[in-house]
Amino acid sequence: MSMKFTDKNVLVTGGTRGIGKAIVEQFAAAGANVAFTYRSSSDEANALVKQLESNGRKAKAFQADAADYAAAEAAVGEIVSEWGSIDIIVNNAGITRDNLMLRMSEDDFDAVVGTNLKSVFNYSKAAYRPMMRQRKGRIVNLSSVVGVMGNAGQTNYAASKAGIIGFSKSLAKELGARGVTVNVVAPGYVETDMTSTLSDAAREAMLGSVPAGRPASPDDIASAVLFLASDEASYITGHVLHVDGGLAM
């Protein structure tokens, strides 16, 4: 079954690279109008907007700190004003500042929780009233296998990603009766810029724990996001979909 998003209006945070870019491109290919946020890569953002528009889709790029609520409210407000609705929010923005907790600074903890977890609050809250008024909507939040299993040297990242799961389940209970679903995709090891800095030994050790025997591609994760955002998933909410090759079994 081919999922269609013809004329749906989508906002993806952190949409210029890796998983976020794959999500943006897959939604556009399925017929959606797509807005996305980015922090600093203006050239990549402008190129992506032109790419989407050349294929006949409406597109917008918002330069924003994901941890800034006012920026989230402004972005959602502009989409609703100009495009008429906000149908799907994908909270994908994320950073890492890994270190053993003994050496982790308070700033590193706050930065990761602010970008990874508070951003989910920001964009979900900004879309809350519009989606309730529409009596329909999809919110898909990106967590991680680390938020389920933990990982040494990533207490800040694990806390933020575990928090996303609890947040999403709670919000799903608030919005379920209004036709709005809230779900989570929890990726495992994905080939992105964020993981490209791993040593060969670290990469081999990680893959040795994956029953599928390979890393995920960004498109593997994006496909799961699109499923949870689709009409076919209308009776799924509060769910955590592991896309990790069996790592968290």
Active site residue ranges: 157
Amino acid of residue 165: I
Tokens read off for 104: 């982790």
- Residue by residue, DSSP assigns 129-168 as HHHHHHT-EEEEEE--THHHH--TT-HHHHHHHHHHHHHH
**Helices 119-134/69-83 angle, 10° precision:** 30
Integer Cα distance of 239 and 228 in angstroms: 9
Integer Cα distance of 124 and 129 in angstroms: 9
Tokens read off for 191: 């080939």
Integer Cα distance of 160 and 110 in angstroms: 10
Element at 60 (helix H, strand E):
strand 59-63
Tokens read off for 134: 């529409």
Which DSSP category does 115 fall into?
A: I
Long-range contacts of 45-52 (CB under 8 A, 24+ apart): 45/15, 45/16, 48/15, 48/16, 48/21, 48/24, 51/25, 52/24, 52/25, 52/28
Integer Cα distance of 5 and 27 in angstroms: 7
Q: Which residues pair with 10 in a beta bridge?
A: 34, 88
